[in-house]
Amino acid sequence: MRHRVTVGSRVFTFHRITGLLILGYLYLHLALLSSVLLPQGPRDFNAVAQVVERPPFLAGDLLLFALLLYHAVNGLRLVLVDLGWFIRRRTIGLIGAGAVGLVVLGLMAGALWPFVVR
Protein backbone atom coordinates (compact mmCIF):
# COMPACT_ATOMS: atom_id res chain seq x y z
CA MET A 1 0.00 0.00 0.00
CA ARG A 2 1.38 3.36 -0.95
CA HIS A 3 2.05 5.50 2.03
CA ARG A 4 0.67 8.94 2.27
CA VAL A 5 3.02 11.88 1.84
CA THR A 6 1.61 15.05 3.34
CA VAL A 7 3.02 18.26 4.68
CA GLY A 8 2.67 16.85 8.18
CA SER A 9 4.48 13.63 7.42
CA ARG A 10 7.31 15.41 5.57
CA VAL A 11 7.86 17.74 8.48
CA PHE A 12 7.87 14.81 10.86
CA THR A 13 10.17 12.62 8.76
CA PHE A 14 12.68 15.44 8.67
CA HIS A 15 12.27 15.82 12.41
CA ARG A 16 13.33 12.23 12.88
CA ILE A 17 16.21 12.50 10.43
CA THR A 18 17.57 15.57 12.20
CA GLY A 19 17.15 13.75 15.49
CA LEU A 20 19.26 10.85 14.28
CA LEU A 21 21.93 13.16 12.87
CA ILE A 22 22.13 15.07 16.14
CA LEU A 23 22.42 11.82 18.07
CA GLY A 24 25.25 10.84 15.73
CA TYR A 25 26.93 14.16 16.37
CA LEU A 26 26.68 13.62 20.12
CA TYR A 27 28.84 10.53 19.83
CA LEU A 28 31.26 12.30 17.48
CA HIS A 29 31.53 15.13 19.99
CA LEU A 30 32.17 12.80 22.91
CA ALA A 31 34.67 10.76 20.91
CA LEU A 32 36.59 13.85 19.88
CA LEU A 33 36.70 15.21 23.39
CA SER A 34 37.77 11.97 24.97
CA SER A 35 40.35 11.12 22.32
CA VAL A 36 41.98 14.52 22.41
CA LEU A 37 41.55 15.39 26.03
CA LEU A 38 42.30 12.30 27.98
CA PRO A 39 45.54 11.15 26.46
CA GLN A 40 47.02 14.43 25.22
CA GLY A 41 46.30 17.40 27.40
CA PRO A 42 45.87 21.15 26.90
CA ARG A 43 48.35 21.70 24.12
CA ASP A 44 46.56 19.36 21.77
CA PHE A 45 43.17 20.53 22.92
CA ASN A 46 44.06 24.03 21.88
CA ALA A 47 45.63 22.82 18.62
CA VAL A 48 42.49 20.95 17.73
CA ALA A 49 40.41 23.95 18.72
CA GLN A 50 42.50 26.05 16.29
CA VAL A 51 41.61 23.68 13.49
CA VAL A 52 37.93 23.18 14.20
CA GLU A 53 37.22 26.88 14.51
CA ARG A 54 38.32 27.73 10.99
CA PRO A 55 35.68 28.96 8.53
CA PRO A 56 34.99 25.62 6.73
CA PHE A 57 34.32 23.99 10.07
CA LEU A 58 32.30 26.99 11.13
CA ALA A 59 30.08 26.41 8.11
CA GLY A 60 29.69 22.86 9.32
CA ASP A 61 28.86 24.21 12.76
CA LEU A 62 26.21 26.41 11.26
CA LEU A 63 24.70 23.44 9.43
CA LEU A 64 24.73 21.43 12.63
CA PHE A 65 23.08 24.31 14.39
CA ALA A 66 20.45 24.46 11.67
CA LEU A 67 19.62 20.79 12.21
CA LEU A 68 19.48 21.33 15.92
CA LEU A 69 17.34 24.39 15.46
CA TYR A 70 14.91 22.59 13.17
CA HIS A 71 14.56 19.77 15.65
CA ALA A 72 14.16 22.17 18.52
CA VAL A 73 11.67 24.54 16.93
CA ASN A 74 9.55 21.81 15.42
CA GLY A 75 9.74 19.86 18.65
CA LEU A 76 8.56 22.91 20.53
CA ARG A 77 5.75 23.33 18.03
CA LEU A 78 4.67 19.71 18.66
CA VAL A 79 4.69 20.32 22.40
CA LEU A 80 2.52 23.37 21.83
CA VAL A 81 0.20 21.22 19.71
CA ASP A 82 -0.09 18.89 22.68
CA LEU A 83 -1.12 21.92 24.68
CA GLY A 84 -3.78 22.65 22.09
CA TRP A 85 -2.10 25.41 20.08
CA PHE A 86 -1.88 25.62 16.31
CA ILE A 87 -4.15 22.66 15.64
CA ARG A 88 -6.88 24.35 13.72
CA ARG A 89 -4.27 26.86 12.57
CA ARG A 90 -1.59 24.42 11.59
CA THR A 91 -0.30 26.55 8.74
CA ILE A 92 0.23 29.46 11.10
CA GLY A 93 2.11 27.12 13.43
CA LEU A 94 4.34 25.90 10.63
CA ILE A 95 5.03 29.35 9.24
CA GLY A 96 5.64 30.71 12.73
CA ALA A 97 8.04 27.90 13.55
CA GLY A 98 9.85 28.49 10.26
CA ALA A 99 10.11 32.21 10.95
CA VAL A 100 11.44 31.72 14.47
CA GLY A 101 13.95 29.18 13.13
CA LEU A 102 15.21 31.53 10.43
CA VAL A 103 15.58 34.44 12.81
CA VAL A 104 17.55 32.38 15.32
CA LEU A 105 19.67 30.92 12.52
CA GLY A 106 20.44 34.47 11.34
CA LEU A 107 21.41 35.49 14.86
CA MET A 108 23.68 32.45 15.05
CA ALA A 109 25.32 33.31 11.74
CA GLY A 110 25.87 36.82 13.03
CA ALA A 111 27.36 35.47 16.25
CA LEU A 112 29.74 33.27 14.27
CA TRP A 113 30.89 36.14 12.06
CA PRO A 114 33.61 37.37 14.52
CA PHE A 115 35.21 33.93 14.28
CA VAL A 116 35.45 34.32 10.50
CA VAL A 117 36.94 37.82 10.44
CA ARG A 118 39.18 37.09 13.37
Partner 1 sequence: MATAERHSSSESAGRPRPLSWSWLLQRLSGVLLILLVGGHLWAEHFQQPGQLIQYQGVLARLQQGLFQVLDLGLLVAVVFHGLNGLVNVVSERWPALSRAAGLLGLVVGTATVLWGADILWVFWYRHPFLEL
Partner 2 sequence: MAKTVTVVIDRSDAGAQRRFEVPVGRRETVLDALFYIQNDLDPTLSFRCACRVGMCGSCGILVNGGERLACRTALEPLGPVVELAPLRYFPRVKDLVVDFSAFYSRYRAVAPYLKPRPAVVDPVVAPPGSGLREEIDLGLECISCGLCLSACDVVGQVPEFLGPAALNRAYNLVADVRDAADAERLEVVGDRRRGVWQCHSHMSCVEVCPKGLAPTRAIAHLRRKLVAQAFFGRRPRPVPSQQRFAEGAR
H/E run at residue 3: none
Name which position in 7, 23, 63, 87 contacts partner 1 (CB under 8 A). 23
User: With binding defined as CB under 8 A, does residue 16 bind partner 1?
Assistant: yes
The DSSP call for residue 87 is S
Q: How far is the CB of 89 from partner 1 (least distance, A)?
A: 21
50 binds partner 2 (CB under 8 A): no
- DSSP string covering 25-72: HHHHHHHHHHHHHHHH-HHHHHHHHHHHTSHHHHHHHHHHHHHHHHHH
Residue 38 binds to partner 1 (criterion: CB under 8 A)? yes
Residue 99: DSSP 8-state = H
Nearer to partner 2, 65 or 85 (CB): 85
Of residues 34, 37, 29, 92, the one with CA closest to residue 64: 29
Q: CB 11 → partner 2: shortest distance, Å?
A: 7
Q: Does 39 bind partner 1 (CB under 8 A)?
A: yes
Q: Which stretch binds partner 2 (CB under 8 A): 2-10, 24-32, 33-41, 96-104?
A: 2-10
